[in-house]
Structure 1
């Protein structure tokens, strides 16, 4: 496989890296606002590496949203991609585009031991699916399955938009407040970066406490410092993530393990490890035993989405070079 480039593109930043010998090389983060489109950003990135268009054979980009057809518009920035024009501008053989959470899930296949922290002990059943769930801008949920030929299959879904599960009287009271505010309460409404703020406001309303924080970052900082209301937000967030993850394990039969990814939980990792996540994860009544022995890891790797884009590109190239050129 020729030298390739991989990218993981979000609303604010685009991460790029060379993919050489199945490894990331020379990762760089560029603000999307600084460039007219991804072609210009990639040319700038290549320039910093002493490379020109035509130096790379193929590109894989992980993009938020459903990927299909020749034209792709990013939902959270001003960029767009015309597949034909993109390949011509960069003089590449093919462009592979995949959903960003699919890339995140594939990244779990290359996680080193030091890049994950055990939350719940157990042994993964390698012939069963693994669950990848992550709170960030939204709540991503994906299924990872190893195939008979050793390649990996990702089944993307919209599990972050399921109803928020209720497991206690207090959660029911909080849900009533959320329902009045939102109408329909999805798991993502709470289990996301902005969800911390939504949850904080609901707890303050329920307990008659004044609002003192206006951002998720401020709530996290206050919670880690021991402020009672903010600390309860982190605890309740952890418990609700446990319930959501457990529900998905039951639905998918995901005895291959659970990977917790995304940018939210690592910001309060120690608090999370001591939280009620594990109890809530297993709290499934007569099916609680099903969750026994399923390992759960908190992923701390810096660029799993980029790595997953590399894995996707590698698998496509091994299957057939045309799989990249003909990616719909």
Structure 2
């Protein structure tokens, strides 16, 4: 297309926030990034127009318009209609393209975009599990290897990226909805409790922003404690029903040490995430590494790196040695998915 795609409006749209950015030219960095709350806008067109209005004022160019657009969205992408899994946004790809006046409009899964960013990330955008270790692929530096990314955010995203003679190709999937498994009796009890509420206990059901309160309630139930005391609630809840805490409250109380049950919920979260990440590594053959994105794990700070995540990642019996050679790292760059969106639009320009 010889550069006809630029300038390009890029976006990473999750269940909570939509990050918009501007790609002025091929290989240019994503600039002028703005984060807009999803709940404050009726859909992607309204949010995109709000972003573009702000950018025009910032740059003093009332005629500024994108030639194309590329959106990473937190849902499976198939057909014209896009329904975000964990927000109220629903839109027609054709209608959005028409309303924004762009051609083309590329829509891809948000973790497909994050996976495409992995080959471009440097040590400054990652924190290895072992402090001080460079992020190195399992295979020799001259050979590329498949990589995987897992992201506990509002939901739980999973994707891979693999090298081909034509370049890196993303492997989008909905792995967060795969069944979650237990590794010990305590986790079996947690999952058994959750199954009294949900017929299918997926990884996302516990390992996400919407899932952490479910995990915490299970910890409270299994450990035989009550998370609430006192009066009957407005909806008629009895006093013995555990107090429902938000993900933010669970993280804060668990990290502060003020609430042992929240602390146990965080420990269980990290252990279950490690086990799930090991499964993903085996399924994809991700010898180039498994990388953790999303908004929850960075908030755990040192607790994550002191957790059983890596122990459980490797705890796969006869394949412990296989997994021990695979690096794991936390993605510290919150804008990495936009880098992947830029990579996706560049592939269209090849």
Give the structure 1 partner of residue 294 of structure 2: 262
Aligned equivalent of 1:286, options 303, 318, 322: 318
Aligned equivalent of 1:199, options 215, 222, 231: 215
The verdict on how the C-alpha distance between 1:137 and 1:36 changes in structure 2, with shifts beyond 3 A counting, is: closer
Between Structure 1 and Structure 2, the one with more helix by share is 1
1:10 to 2:14 alignment = yes
Which secondary structure state, in structure 2, belongs to the residue aligned with residue 29 of structure 1? strand
Give the structure 2 partner of residue 63 of structure 1: 73
1:146 to 2:163 alignment = yes
Give the structure 1 partner of residue 122 of structure 2: 112
1:44 to 2:50 alignment = yes
Structure 1, unmatched stretches of 5+, are: 319-328
Task: With the length of structure 2 as denominator, give the TM-score of the two structures.
Answer: 0.83
- For structure 1, which segment, 224-233 or 68-77, has the greater mean C-alpha deviation from structure 2 after superposition? 68-77
Is contact 1:46-1:52 (8 Å) kept? Answer: no
The verdict on how the C-alpha distance between 1:188 and 1:42 changes in structure 2, with shifts beyond 3 A counting, is: closer
Is contact 2:147-2:288 (8 Å) kept? Answer: yes
Shift of 1:32: 3.8
Encode CA deviations 1:227-282: one digit per residue, 9 max, x unaligned: 32211111111110010011111112111101001111111021000001111011
Shift of 1:181: 2.6
Give the structure 2 partner of residue 127 of structure 1: 144
Shift of 1:152: 1.6
The whole-number CA distance in structure 2 between the counterparts of 1:284 and 1:77 is 36
1:317 to 2:349 alignment = yes
Would you say how many aligned residue pairs link Structure 1 and Structure 2?
317
Aligned equivalent of 1:23, options 15, 21, 29: 29
The whole-number CA distance in structure 2 between the counterparts of 1:183 and 1:89 is 41
The verdict on how the C-alpha distance between 1:97 and 1:228 changes in structure 2, with shifts beyond 3 A counting, is: same
Give the structure 2 partner of residue 244 of structure 1: 276
Structure 2, unmatched stretches of 5+, are: 229-242
Is contact 1:54-1:92 (8 Å) kept? Answer: no
Encode CA deviations 1:118-147: one digit per residue, 9 max, x unaligned: 115674135331111111122111111122
The whole-number CA distance in structure 2 between the counterparts of 1:228 and 1:78 is 35
Which secondary structure state, in structure 2, belongs to the residue aligned with residue 311 of structure 1? helix
Task: With the length of structure 1 as denominator, give the TM-score of the two structures.
Answer: 0.89
Give the structure 2 partner of residue 307 of structure 1: 339
5 Å matches for 1:213-228? 214-226=245-257, 227-228=259-260
The whole-number CA distance in structure 2 between the counterparts of 1:46 and 1:179 is 46
RMSD of aligned Cα (Å): 2.2
Give the structure 2 partner of residue 253 of structure 1: 285
The verdict on how the C-alpha distance between 1:221 and 1:115 changes in structure 2, with shifts beyond 3 A counting, is: same
